[in-house]
Structure 1
Amino acid sequence: MPSATLLGQALISGVLAGGLYGLLAMGLSLSWGLLRLVNLSHFALAFLAAYLVYELGTNYHVEPWWSAALIVPAMFAIGVAQHWLFDKFKVNELASLLITFSFAIILEVGIQLYWTADFRRYETEYATRSLKAGPFYIPILDLTLCLVAGALAWGTWLWLRCTYVGKALRAAAEDPGIAAAYGVDHKKLAYLLSGIGAAYAGIAGTFIALIATLAPAQIWAYLGVVFAVVIIGRLGNPLGALLAGLLIGASESIAMAVLAPAWAPVVSFSVLIAILLWDPEWL
């Protein structure tokens, strides 16, 4: 049995890793829950943003936060353009899954052609900085990621519940016909939401560039666990996505410390299966 210190450090590391899961899940959760579009290219957009941050930082010496200021609006524009295609061709939920999977493959190939399949690491002065709290160490970048994810989740939740646009989006997701009868232009609002989801992928990609080793195939490494996070957190619920990400991250880290690293991928799906067996109407 691991020591209490090791378990505590594993819990901290898991919660911080869960912040990235939650941040990646937010855009997918909003798109799936409120637009009924399953956007698998969300993961590829996050890694495209990560590679762009890496490129700007290593070759042009642009600070990552300035890179994010350029890349996040560009991701928003890509999200809007994607939704224009979905709207123009009347893409439904199942078709969106297949189409965006194809988009993700194309982006993966493009990334591999330009940056090759070699592993790449963006070394910064922030990467090794940590806060010490008793016997525990808290990486500053991971903590910043969690704080940003928390702020975005809370802000988005308030926006969806306290503003006209947010209420209109939720109403249109529940019953588009009735919402339209009350003057809600769901099509225009959908463009905004799609852009926001892609922008969140850009923010997640910025942090991926700073804390992870990059490789094109890593696009798929987050797919399963983030899908589980989206479902556990309930569709269209940004706070739920973040809390589910923290839960899964902590559970995976404790499983790795107590059992073995090979058990980590089992955790998210075990939690998902347990929840769906307990409440089949969870979604």
Structure 2
Amino acid sequence: MSATLLAQSAIGGLLLGGIYGLLALGLSVSWGLLRLVNLSHFALAFLGAYLTYQLGTQFGIAPWLSALVVVPAFFVAGIALHALFVRFQVSEFASMLVTFGITILIESLIQWLWSADYRKFESGYAQASLRIGPLFVPVLELAAFACAALLAVAAWAGLNRTLLGKALRAAAHDGPIAAAFGIHAKRLSYLLAGLCAASAGVAGVFIALTSTLAPSQIEAWIGVVFAVVIIGGLARPLGALAAGCLIGVSESVTMAAVNPAWAPLVAFSILIVLLLWRPRWL
């Protein structure tokens, strides 16, 4: 395999890793701080992708304007879903089962509204790319990576450098003690749940721009992004981005150098190796 092909594969994998990291960001934070394993996060992202597709193809609304509708709507949906979790005191394990059921419902809704056919959002920038010597960098994938990096840094700074973030981490670590110091953990949890769902909306917009849409893709992404979350660490936004890039590059290089059929095994192989090698680090 030529060096140019290897470098092009690495670039493609790095940009794909940005999508992985963006999709993993909300799940990582909600799992780490809210102690809720929200599997419906993936379905929400794809619902956001389909809404972006519909608004663009039927009404001619640009994806960036669609985000102004999708992201706030998902923020509200995240708060509403979290209100149900709080109302019925859903545990960490039960949240996985409940949100898996919600995932099935959303997938069925998508299939009912848009059918199981593959759909592609045709954007004027779909073929645009930057040329760096013999290498090409797709503009849309680069924008997705830049957005993922920006949100990851913002989330990290928000959790570690602001009073609100420190209060969130304190409430997650020891709720009663945090409450004794005047931290309203319940109010903060609603805000955090809304932000995590909003991040799924952002991911959905970029998935619509960079990927072919089909309801079956939801399950295909769950395993990979789950591995990204675990490798990157819970409530570690920068870790989620780094893990996404690691898996994205590994998958892309494997497809180019070995065999495309081996690519789905990469994420879980890396996860197993790290669990055996440094389990405490994860």
TM-score bin (small chain): over 0.9
Q: Is the partner of 1:137 in helix, strand or coil?
A: strand
Gap regions ≥5 residues in structure 2: none
> Residue by residue, what CA displacement relative to the aligned partner does 1:96-130 show, whole Å, maximum 9, x if unpaired?
00000000000000111111111111101010000
In the alignment, what sits opposite 1:87?
A: 86
Deviation at 1:187, TM superposition (A): 0.8
SS state at 2:212 partner: coil
Write out per-residue CA displacement over residues 3-38 of structure 1, whole angstroms, 9 at most, x where no aligned residue: 100000000000000000000000000010000000
Instruction: State the match for 2:247 in structure 1.
Output: 248
Q: CA–CA distance in 2 between the matches of 1:40 and 1:158?
A: 25
**Normalised TM-score (structure 2):** 0.99
2:260 maps to 261
Map of 1:17 onto structure 2? 16
**Following the alignment from structure 1 to structure 2, what is the Cα–Cα distance between the partners of residues 167 and 144?**
30
Q: 1 CA distance for matches of 2:278 and 2:3?
A: 34
Alignment-mate amino acid for residue 55 of structure 2? L
Q: RMSD value over aligned CA atoms?
A: 0.7
Q: Which residue of 2 aligns with 1:204?
A: 203
After TM superposition, list the pairs within 5 Å mapping 1:155-166 onto structure 2.
155-166=154-165
**Partner SS, residue 74 of structure 2:** helix
Question: What is the number of equivalent residue pairs in this alignment?
Answer: 282
Question: Could you tell me how far 1:189 is from its partner in structure 2?
Answer: 0.5
TM-score (norm: length of structure 1): 0.98
- For residues 143-162 of structure 1, the C-alpha deviation after alignment (integer angstroms, 9 at most, x for no partner) is 00000000000011000011
Partners of 1:120 and 1:258 lie apart in 2 by 29
Aligned to 2:61: 62
Paired amino acid for 1:40: L
- Taking the aligned partners of 1:224 and 1:117, their CA distance within structure 2 comes to 21
Report what 1:220 is aligned to. Answer: 219
Question: How high is the sequence identity, in percent, across the aligned residues?
Answer: 60
Deviation, structure 1 residue 282: 3.0
Q: Secondary structure at the match of 2:216?
A: helix
Confirm or deny that 1:73 pairs with 2:88.
no
Runs of at least 4 residues of structure 1 off by over 3 A?
none
Task: Give the Å deviation of 1:46.
Answer: 0.3
Q: Distance in 2 between matches of 1:282 and 1:180?
A: 30
Deviation per residue, 1:183-217 (Å, 9 max, x gap): 11111111011101110000000011111111111
